[in-house]
Structure 1
């Protein structure tokens, strides 16, 4: 708990003078709250009992004036705390979002989207609520309680001591409530994240849901998580309802104590009727902080549960980052070497003893069965992951010693897992080159054979694409993704199964247009199609994370291995060999 207070204070410190002024206004406002109970007693003793009617208007004027001033002060200190909370919320979200941009692939693979979204939205707002409302309520109620006890001591110290002796009982039950509700709020927060994840997955995978007619299954799955969320809230409510009546009863019991003891003292003439009225009026000032203690405990525990998740996000270590010993590179030519590279992921060997050399301007093709490690090889080159053993060199420099932004700026990637933003077609193509001209964007689209279908869209390049490219075919999305990589004009071009969803005729056109373009680039192509890889300078065959074959198209056909079998499956008996050899 104390750690979370220290953490949020680091953000509040910037506004400490503003907050201290707000606390000062709260103190003045809390002190003014004592005026009405105190003067109510004076009205009874002086005006009603002693018949000093001339004093009535003075007392009423003071009460009305104080009430008006108190309202103004309350408005301003609430405004101060709300302003500070919104500024802190803005900073937190900005820093958290910046942190998300720096986190590795492994973070996103291990954390559900719903959990991240909850941290960025609901948890952030809980922190804002803590700064905007909980803090000033704690200060205000604490000061009102202290001032009330102070006034009681000036009126009758014996009755005031009785009040002080009574309050630890309420404090004990408040502490018990705090200990009990703490784990329930963490549980509620965790289940809410799970609920968010289910909704997010359903929205993202809605086409799959409808294609398999699994709407009823999805409803049941959501209802199950929703039921679990309801149960977690019920569990918290049970704890809350167990202690709240006790706290309310103890707080209300103060009225009985004051009336009983105070009444006896009035009868014995050791307390005036006006003083009893003052005490009775101050009971609310005592009761309200004691009652609020339970509610504030509730909000503090909610803050703790949310703050821990945001703190955890903000302090997640980034594994892939710039080395302290960076080597300055003016321009990357594109010479690539994988040197004894091994890669393990989740305690599983993905790549073993990978040795590849590609000269600048050459084309390397990678082929192999699903799960052989092809995409991981590309991920290592882009430093989405770091190899477990060995090194990857670009122009003779270990990529760990190349500035990360410089490295990725020099690599244009058309990923297998295509993602298009909910934006215009033009903005999606120009995502990697924000200052690109329309002519450059159109040229990239023409090279990827995307310009024709783009021009046929309702608004052409200004057409808004739905989230993840909803409304476009798989082939159309692939061509936009390819155009995005081409526009970047990188030294190294990486094409990961880029044309798997386009027809053979379109693929042939793309290859012809790219043939002159890639002569100036180091190009790495991953594909299952022989037609996409056969013109490469070097082809490697991966199987179970190892290079099992390498050479050019002609050499690999003569090996009678995996590459040859794939070729025969796709093209048949064009080279005179028997189809019986096909596996």
Structure 2
């Protein structure tokens, strides 16, 4: 708050210091120069030098402090925005391009930084300076002031037209930037697909089209500036010409002294400069308005996961119950229909079914990545909405088929920056799942940088790291989403051994593509089009000779053919 009021004080000081100079020059010419007062002339020159030094110092302090305050504000806005994004439902990310969110968090906020550091404070200072200049002009001579401002309505009209045009232009610019970021982010991430299908030329043509739209939008805004500033210069020149003409006539009639005319020429230049600068800052301001509207739309997005629960137990037993659960990603298009099942503490339940049957949706709902439409999900007899979100998720260890690793060390990818987890705990979890040996072979061990998305590791190694990441938090509920479907047979055997150790004493929910990995599950649920069609143990389902039995026969036949 102190810095803010200091900035206000500096803004006022700057607005007052600038118009004093023409007034002092007027006095110097009309009094000291006209009367041949050499000592008075030296004194006034010294006073002007002191004034210029003071103005330079105040200008420096004002610019630095306004930028300093702007950066602090932007830091808080960026933090709030990122915190808000983290709380949004996965449903929001399903329909929002990642590149667009990157644009909001980086480019749009950088534009706001320019507004706070160069736009608002400077514009307020310029407006205040205009008021002070008008006061000096009317105090000196009101008739000459009216003559000098006779062209002002034309400049105001031109500025208004410029403002409206540039506003539309910068809307187009920000949209083009967002589209460009989205395209580049998505296609660099999916570059392997582009190259595998020999699609480089086609994607390049798409990029050229988007880049061309970006160029057109920017050139349009440049065109408006190219027209406006010459017009503003001509209007200012006409104003100075009228002042010189009117003042010269009055000087011939001995009604004005030379100092008044010189001061007014300086006043006009000073008066029109802030107006031109204000118009120039419409660039920053209009882009800031567009960016702020986009940021407000994102911050006002209510698709966040409510964290209304208060339960935060020290430990969970791990009992899970789905009671008549209905769920749809889109309204009325249900992917889960009346799902009901129970898993006691320490038991293992497996979910099988064709792609799109709803298996992954079940585990997404348990972790509250999405909210159910009807029914209830209970953990230890309490609705999951009654738990604090962090308390619920820290007790559910999830291992996905598609493992995501950050561009960081193995240790940071396992602990996710949690300083409460020691290296000893990491290595203990790694030994449990059989990952310790390969981690120690890597250069630097836990300090080895896996690069973006784990590009320097094999699929099996990435999967093992995801196992360590789940186990290091010692969850009471383990969720495995086809965790072995992407690995080779040798690694699968190693992982299956680790899975057996992980499941010991924990409630386990397993989505399996290979039925051989779930034969010992306490219960198997067969899902089809969002409904439970069969349930029971492996042997009972085989005895029913239904969908599960058919699926088992197909996989058995496939394995037999491979062996043959």
TM-score per shorter chain, which class? Answer: over 0.9
Tell me the residue number matched to 2:215: 230
Residues 1:574 and 1:105: Cα distance change in structure 2 (over 3 Å): closer
Is residue 123 of structure 1 aligned with residue 88 of structure 2? no
Alignment of 1:134-533 (within 5 A): 134-323=119-308, 326-327=310-311, 329-347=313-331, 348-431=333-416, 434-533=419-518
Instruction: Please give the alpha-carbon distance, in whole angstroms, between the structure 2 residues aligned to 1:99 and 1:541.
Output: 38
Summarize deviations over 1:126-152 as a string: whole Å, max 9, x none. Answer: 212111111232122222222222222
Q: Which residue of 1 aligns with 2:552?
A: 567
Give the Cα–Cα distance (whole angstroms) in 1 for the partners of residues 516 and 414 of structure 2: 26
* CA distance, structure 2, for counterparts of residue 346 and residue 95 of structure 1: 29
**Which digits, 9 at most, give the CA deviation of each residue in 1:533-567, with x for residues without a partner?**
11111111111111111111111112223322221
Q: Match for residue 3 of structure 1?
A: none
For the 8 Å contact 1:433–1:487, the answer to whether it is kept is: no
Q: Residues 81 and 573 from structure 1, CA distance in 2 versus in 1: closer, same or farther, beyond 3 angstroms?
A: closer
CA gap 1:448/1:339 in 2 versus in 1, 3 angstroms: same
CA contact (8 A) 1:432 1:484 kept: no
- Residue 34 of structure 1: SS of its match in structure 2? helix
Deviates more, 1:548-557 or 1:199-208: 199-208
* Counterpart position of 1:553: 538
Cα drift, residue 573 of structure 1: 9.5
Q: Which residue of 2 aligns with 1:12?
A: none
**Shift of residue 228 of structure 1?**
1.1
CA-atom RMSD in angstroms: 2.1
Partner Cα distance (2:125, 2:418) in 1: 54
**SS of the residue 1:187 aligns to:** helix
Q: CA deviation at 1:233?
A: 1.4
Distance 1:432 1:379 in 2: 24
Deviation of the 1:330 alpha carbon: 4.3
Contact 2:401–2:484 (CA under 8 A) maintained in structure 1: no
Alignment-derived partner of residue 7 in structure 1: none
In structure 2, the CA distance between the partners of 1:261 and 1:433, relative to structure 1 (3 Å rule), is closer
Q: State the distance in 2 between where 1:318 and 1:327 align.
A: 23
Work out the CA distance in 2 between the residues paired with 1:463 and 1:83.
Answer: 38
Kept after mapping to 1: 8 A contact 2:541/2:548: yes
**1:565 aligned counterpart, secondary structure:** helix
* Matching residue of 2:19: 34
CA contact under 8 A between 1:41 and 1:278: conserved in structure 2?
yes
- Correspondence for 1:80 among 51, 65, 74: 65
Structure 1 residues 33 and 569: alpha-carbon distance in aligned structure 2, compared to 1, 3 A threshold = same
Q: Is the 8 A contact 2:91 2:329 kept in 1?
A: no
Change (3 A) 1:158 1:404: same
Unaligned ranges ≥5, structure 1: 1-14
* TM-score of the superposed pair, with normalisation by structure 1: 0.91
Corresponding residue for 2:53?
68
Mean Cα deviation higher: 357-366 or 297-306: 297-306
Distance 1:87 1:290 in 2: 28
Q: Kindly indicate whether the alpha-carbon contact (under 8 Å) linking 1:493 and 1:524 is maintained by their aligned counterparts in 2.
A: yes
TM-score (norm 2): 0.94
8 Å contact kept, 2:148–2:240 = no
**Aligned twin of 2:30:** 45
Verify the 8 A CA contact 2:148 2:268 in the aligned structure 1. no
Indicate if the aligned counterparts of 1:527 and 1:533 stay in contact, CA closer than 8 A: yes
Aligned residues of 2:87 and 2:304 also touching (Cα < 8 A): no
Deviation at 1:203, TM superposition (A): 2.5
| Superposition deviation, residue 37 in structure 1 | 1.5
Instruction: Choose which of 7, 10, 14 in structure 2 pairs with 1:25.
Output: 10
Distance in 1 separating the partners of 2:106 and 2:317:
44
Contact 1:432 1:488 in 2 (8 A): no
Comparing 142-151 with 438-447, which one deviates more in the overlay? 438-447
- Give the Cα–Cα distance (whole angstroms) in 1 for the partners of residues 299 and 52 of structure 2: 44
Of residues 37-46 and 377-386 in structure 1, the stretch that sits farther from structure 2 once superposed is 37-46
Please give the residue correspondences for 1:524-543 in structure 2 after superposition, counting only pairs within 5 Å.
524-543=509-528
Distance 1:517 1:305 in 2: 51
For 2:411 and 2:3, locate their aligned partners in 1 and report how far apart those are by CA, in whole Å. Answer: 46
Does the aligned pair in 2 maintain the 1:174–1:297 contact within 8 Å? no
For 2:487, what is the secondary structure of its paired residue? coil
SS in 1 for 2:159: helix
Structure 2 CA distance, aligned partners of 1:30 and 1:326? 55
More displaced, 495-504 or 247-256?
247-256
Find the aligned partners of 2:445 and 2:191 in 1 and give their Cα distance. Answer: 26
Alpha carbons 2:432, 2:501 under 8 Å: kept? no
Say which SS state the counterpart of residue 520 (structure 2) adopts.
coil
Match of 1:11 in 2: none
Cα contact 1:414–1:482 (8 A) shared by 2: yes
- Secondary structure class of the residue paired with 1:33: helix
Residue 115 of structure 1, CA deviation: 1.5
Structure 1 residue 516, shift from structure 2 partner: 4.3
1:114 corresponds to 2:115:
no
Secondary structure in 2 matching 1:549: strand
